[in-house]
């Protein structure tokens, strides 16, 4: 039985009320009652179900919660890996060595660090993998070189996103492409065109910060918190690099094998890395390390579970459709602006979800605008969402694992605000002039 | 045990109860829920595992219905349910299987091609787990699944799915997409095994014409269309003449040679069959849709799509009438008949004579359910 057309306005009104109730509940629980963001999003989703008359279908909450299951596994094992490296003393040893070599050459250090941070993202298409592997290594190095912790954290977060966008693997582009049956072919140059200037600019910004943040202090001579207390605690030789090298080699091997080596998955690679850390550094207690790693991952994993429920209820109740349709309900010229706003904002829940939900319809609305360059630019806009609150998954993970305290995430985000805006502007420019850029490439 | 221990035990107990209750809801149902009542023309009910023994006993095994006419002729394969969230494909295949009278040639119907995909829904899509159609013998509930194989049956996904023919890279979840897995791998992943079995069936049974029934969202450019492999272009072109006479406007789209793993490309490249894929507009799978429920799946009316159509954002006509399931399944049925007729005209010695099916107008007027269960 088709719905009566006279009810169109009422339906839109009902969807608006549902959305307002969900957002209101989230704010009430998170801001007023100070509940964790995970519980606030889950509560908001439950209220959305109730207001829309679907409270009998609680299974939607469970189904939605599984939307980010694979990402949650990556985060859990990445945190266990980091906890193992930290407990084994590997993190501080590598940071110490790099700082000693490059600590007084800030630009060279930040360019090398950017390449290191980007590498896992380039190989896996995951900003989380980048932030939690090489990203976590360079963070204390940059701090030791005289860059303020907040700026160093912002550098790692931005580098992780740029790595996620850079070729050869860009998962958001693959998701957008699969929505319109566009093969992942011919994207290398457009993605490099997007990522390279961004990487260089962020590196220069970080290097400039090294002098600005510690005026009058010789870079590299700072009292870096990771400097080992005594030679007894130092780990000698090259074995200190084995866990991280093994991780990068596994990622490379899987990517270069073109499917001939089965992909064991990023969580497995992190688990292998964690086990290697146990034999390459100081003796550590396995159970305690796992508990510490999972404990660090728990708030972010919880938020993703809540966000999954939230998105499921938005879709079920038509709120998602209302938002997407409204974003497209404008003249074509304004769609570029809508993309620059809607993709990062929706990406704040999940970059992958934003690529699918917003990226595909926007690309369809922009057919004829050089689809390859357009999809590349849209993937950058969606990926930037990984930096934005409320979830701000990459800054949250860096903050959780850094031990810098509760205000660190906010300080990091404040530092990153201007670079994020510049990245959005850059992606917007590429999107707007995609046909000309396509000809150039 | 201290206070902390008690609290921990309570939390774990609650989590266990929720896990058990959820598992009861989400545990994949058995294959018996994918029912079909073949017409009296049925010659043999087979299983897909006959064409790839690596599928035996797995969730990917599914029914293969074989009809043979009294007169020898050509052979046609119709595949529904490759994407279980595209219900017109499944329903059209069921109507075909339950009503067909075959006088000449051979017809093979697979109504639930990705059987595993029918056992779950994609998270965050808010889809119903089933929908109900009114049939002459009562209500019939049909599963509404996911375009991907159930991760309970195939997991984990690779980070990036590297398609086997030309090593094309796709998002990792596409490793569970049957229509990206052709021609398949005999002992590969579950999805690849299913794909291999279908390709092998085409070869073993000497299929002349193969049709894959799909749907796409109304904002997708390839819609109300026949996607044809280059060798199948003529048969597609002739069939559109018949369809237009019946009031079914349809486009012909060439199968892109660069897009690998899809049925219309790999069946055509790896076998002698003429490979075609049909698309109809399904608002329940689009990204612009509003309230998502069984009513949308069957009725096909969505205010968000009406609004998008008014703004010129769609590639198909979309009015207050929407695109009901009856219309979409009717289009597929009419197209299957027209393609069979076109092929029979082009190759009379390999003719396939399909009778007993309702016309497009019949299905539109009486609903798809009116032609289900006639043999129950």
pLDDT single digits (tens) B29-78: 776 678 999 999 999 999 999 999 999 999 999 999 999 999 999 999 99
Nearest chain B Cα distance for residue A300, angstroms = 19
How far apart are the two ends of chain A, measured CA to CA in Å? 52
What is the pLDDT at residue A102?
80
Question: Which tokens belong to A149?
Answer: 């912790």
A89 near A233, Cβ under 8 Å?
Answer: yes
Q: Compare A68 and B122 and report the one with higher pLDDT.
A: B122
Nearest residue to A296 via CA among A403, A412, A408, A433: A403
What is the pLDDT at residue A191?
97
Q: What is the DSSP letter of A32?
A: I
State yes or no: pLDDT of A218 exceeds 50.
Answer: no
What is the pLDDT at residue A328?
83
A381 near A373, Cβ under 8 Å?
Answer: no
Tell whether B19 is covered by a domain.
Answer: no
Tell whether B332 is covered by a domain.
Answer: yes
The percentage of residues in chain A with a pLDDT greater than 70, rounded to a whole number, is 93
Tell me the per-residue pLDDT of B353-362, one tens digit each, with 9 for 90 and over: 999 999 999 9
- Window 227-256 of A: residues touching B by CB (8 A cutoff) are 254-255
Euclidean distance between CA atoms B301 and B303, whole angstroms: 7
> What's the mean pLDDT when you consider all of chain A?
87
Contact with chain B for residue A169, Cβ under 8 A: yes
What is the pLDDT at residue A175?
87
Confidence grade of residue A403 (pLDDT, cut at 50, 70, 90): confident
Look at B291 and A125 and tell me if their CB atoms are within 8 Å. Answer: no
Tell me the per-residue pLDDT of B305-338, one tens digit each, with 9 for 90 and over: 999 999 888 999 999 999 999 999 999 999 999 9
Euclidean distance between CA atoms A403 and B145, whole angstroms: 44
The percentage of residues in chain A with a pLDDT greater than 90, rounded to a whole number, is 44
- The tally of domains found in chain B comes to 1
Residues of B in contact with A178 (CB under 8 A): 170-171, 174
Tell me the per-residue pLDDT of A34-69, one tens digit each, with 9 for 90 and over: 888 888 889 999 999 999 999 988 899 999 999 889
Sign for the pseudo-dihedral over CA of B94, B96, B99, B105: negative
What is the pLDDT at residue A221?
41
CA distances from A432 to A326, A337, A340, A371, B322 (A): 20, 9, 10, 12, 34
Q: Which residue has the tokens 């530092």?
A: A415
Q: Which residue has the tokens 């110490």?
A: A96
A258-275: average pLDDT: 89
> What are the start-end ranges of the H helices in A318-367?
319-328, 332-347, 351-354, 360-365
Nearest chain A Cα distance for residue B273, angstroms = 23
Contact with chain A for residue B184, Cβ under 8 A: no
B315 near B265, Cβ under 8 Å?
Answer: no
Confidence grade of residue A431 (pLDDT, cut at 50, 70, 90): very high
Domain span including residue B70: 42-371
B145 near B85, Cβ under 8 Å?
Answer: yes
Look at A169 and B169 and tell me if their CB atoms are within 8 Å. Answer: yes
* CB-facing half-sphere around the CA of A196: CA atoms within 13 A: 8
Contact with chain A for residue B185, Cβ under 8 A: no
B136-165: average pLDDT: 92
Look at B303 and A266 and tell me if their CB atoms are within 8 Å. Answer: no
A64-91: average pLDDT: 88
Tell whether B28 is covered by a domain.
Answer: no
Contact with chain A for residue B292, Cβ under 8 A: yes
Nearest chain B Cα distance for residue A338, angstroms = 15
What is the pLDDT at residue A367?
84
Residues of B in contact with A11 (CB under 8 A): 290-291, 303
Q: How many CB pairs under 8 A join A and B?
A: 167
Residues of A in contact with B18 (CB under 8 A): 62
For B319, name the nearest residue in chain A, comparing CA atoms only: A5
Contact with chain A for residue B11, Cβ under 8 A: no
* CATH code assigned at B219: 3.40.630
Nearest residue to B209 via CA among B68, B94, B67, B342: B342
Nearest chain B Cα distance for residue A239, angstroms = 28
State yes or no: pLDDT of B376 exceeds 70.
Answer: no
What is the pLDDT at residue A6?
54
What is the pLDDT at residue A189?
93
> What's the mean pLDDT when you consider all of chain B?
94
State yes or no: pLDDT of B16 exceeds 70.
Answer: yes
B147-153: average pLDDT: 95
Q: Which range has the worst mean pLDDT, A175-189, A218-232, B200-214?
A: A218-232
What is the pLDDT at residue A228?
52
Mutate to test the interface with B, among A180, A186, A325 (most CBs of B within 10 A): A325
Report, in angstroms and rounded to the nearest whole number, the Rg of chain A calculated over CA atoms: 22
For A331, name the nearest residue in chain B, comparing CA atoms only: B311
State yes or no: pLDDT of A132 exceeds 60.
Answer: yes
Euclidean distance between CA atoms A333 and A341, whole angstroms: 14
Look at A8 and B303 and tell me if their CB atoms are within 8 Å. Answer: yes
Angle at B258 between CA B260 and CA A381, to 5 degrees: 90
Q: Compare A56 and B215 and report the one with higher pLDDT.
A: B215
Confidence grade of residue A217 (pLDDT, cut at 50, 70, 90): very low
For B260, name the nearest residue in chain A, comparing CA atoms only: A183
> What are the start-end ranges of the H helices in A214-318?
242-256, 266-280, 286-317
Tell whether B121 is covered by a domain.
Answer: yes
Tell whether B218 is covered by a domain.
Answer: yes
Residues 6+ apart with CB under 8 A from B241: none
Confidence grade of residue A216 (pLDDT, cut at 50, 70, 90): very low
* Helical (H) or strand (E) element with A282: none
């Amino acid at each position: 039985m088709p719905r009566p057309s006279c009810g169109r306005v009422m339906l839109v009104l009902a969807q608006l009320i549902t959305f307002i109730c969900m957002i209101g509940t989230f704010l009430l629980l998170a801001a007023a009652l100070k509940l964790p963001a995970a519980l606030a999003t889950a509560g908001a989703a439950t209220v959305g179900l109730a207001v829309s008359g679907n409270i009998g279908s609680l299974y939607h909450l469970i189904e939605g919660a599984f939307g980010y299951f694979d990402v949650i596994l990556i985060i859990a094992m990445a945190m266990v890996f980091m906890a193992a490296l930290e407990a084994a003393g590997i993190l501080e040893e590598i940071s110490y060595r790099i700082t000693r070599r490059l600590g007084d050459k800030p630009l060279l250090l930040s360019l090398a660090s950017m390449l290191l941070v980007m590498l896992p993202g380039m190989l896996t298409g995951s900003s989380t993998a980048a932030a939690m592997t090489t990203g976590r290594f360079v963070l204390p190095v940059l701090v030791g070189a005289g860059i303020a912790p907040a700026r160093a954290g912002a550098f790692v977060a931005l580098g992780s996103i740029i790595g996620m966008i850079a070729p050869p693997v860009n998962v958001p582009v693959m998701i957008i492409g699969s929505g319109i049956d566009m093969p992942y072919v011919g994207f290398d140059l457009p993605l490099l065109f997007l990522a390279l200037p961004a990487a260089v600019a962020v590196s220069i910004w970080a290097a400039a910060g090294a002098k600005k943040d510690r005026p009058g202090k010789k870079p590299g001579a700072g009292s870096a918190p990771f400097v080992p207390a005594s030679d007894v605690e130092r780990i000698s030789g090259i074995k200190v690099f084995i866990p991280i090298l093994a991780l990068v080699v596994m990622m490379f091997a899987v990517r270069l094998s073109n499917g001939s080596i089965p992909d064991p998955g990023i969580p497995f690679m992190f688990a292998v890395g964690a086990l290697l850390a146990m034999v390459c550094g100081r003796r550590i207690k396995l159970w305690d390390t796992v508990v510490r790693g999972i404990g660090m991952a728990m708030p972010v994993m919880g938020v993703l579970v809540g966000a999954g429920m939230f998105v499921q209820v938005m879709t079920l109740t038509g709120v998602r459709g209302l938002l997407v349709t409204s974003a497209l309900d404008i003249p074509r010229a304004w769609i570029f602006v809508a993309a620059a706003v809607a993709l990062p904002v929706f990406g704040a829940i999940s970059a992958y979800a934003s690529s699918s939900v917003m990226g595909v319809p926007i690309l369809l609305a922009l057919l004829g605008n050089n689809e390859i360059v357009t999809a590349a630019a849209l993937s950058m806009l969606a990926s930037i969402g990984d930096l934005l609150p409320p979830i701000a998954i990459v800054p949250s993970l860096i903050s959780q694992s850094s031990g810098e305290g509760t205000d660190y995430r906010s300080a990091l985000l404040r530092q990153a605000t201007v670079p994020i805006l510049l990245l959005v502007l850059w992606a917007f420019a590429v999107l707007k002039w995609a046909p000309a850029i396509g000809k150039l490439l | 045990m201290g206070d902390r221990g008690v609290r921990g035990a309570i939390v774990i107990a609650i989590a266990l109860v929720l896990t058990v209750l959820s598992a009861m809801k989400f545990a994949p149902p058995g294959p018996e829920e994918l029912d079909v009542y073949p017409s009296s023309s049925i010659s043999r009910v087979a299983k897909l595992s006959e064409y790839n023994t690596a599928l035996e006993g797995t969730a990917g095994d599914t029914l293969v219905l074989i009809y043979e006419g009294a007169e020898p002729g050509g052979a046609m394969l119709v595949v529904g349910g490759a994407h279980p969230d595209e219900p017109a494909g499944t329903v059209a295949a069921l109507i075909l299987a339950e009503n067909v009278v075959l006088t000449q040639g051979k017809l093979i119907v697979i109504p639930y091609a990705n059987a595993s995909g029918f056992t779950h829904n994609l998270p965050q899509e808010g889809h119903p787990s089933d929908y109900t159609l009114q049939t002459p013998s009562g209500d019939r509930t049909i599963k509404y699944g996911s375009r991907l194989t159930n991760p309970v049956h195939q997991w984990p996904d690779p980070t990036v799915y590297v398609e086997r023919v030309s090593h094309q890279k796709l998002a990792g979840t596409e490793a569970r997409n049957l229509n990206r897995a052709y021609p398949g791998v005999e002992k590969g992943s579950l999805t690849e095994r299913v794909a291999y079995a279908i390709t092998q069936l085409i070869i073993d049974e000497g299929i002349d014409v193969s049709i894959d029934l799909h749907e796409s969202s109304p904002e997708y450019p390839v819609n109300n269309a026949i996607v044809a492999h280059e060798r199948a272009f003529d048969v597609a072109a002739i069939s559109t003449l018949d369809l237009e006479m019946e009031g079914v406007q349809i486009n012909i789209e060439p199968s892109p040679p660069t897009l690998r793993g899809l049925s219309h490309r790999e069946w055509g490249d790896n076998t002698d069959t003429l490979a075609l894929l049909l698309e109809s507009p399904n608002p329940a799978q689009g990204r612009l849709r509003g309230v998502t429920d069984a009513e949308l799946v069957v009725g096909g009316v969505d205010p968000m799509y009406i609004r998008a159509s008014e703004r010129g954002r769609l590639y198909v006509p979309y009015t207050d009438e929407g695109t009901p399931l009856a219309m979409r399944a009717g289009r597929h049925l009419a197209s299957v008949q027209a393609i069979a007729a076109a092929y029979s005209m082009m190759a009379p010695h390999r003719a396939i004579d399909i009778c007993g099916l309702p016309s497009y107008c019949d299905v539109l007027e009486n609903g798809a359910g009116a032609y289900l269960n006639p043999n129950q």
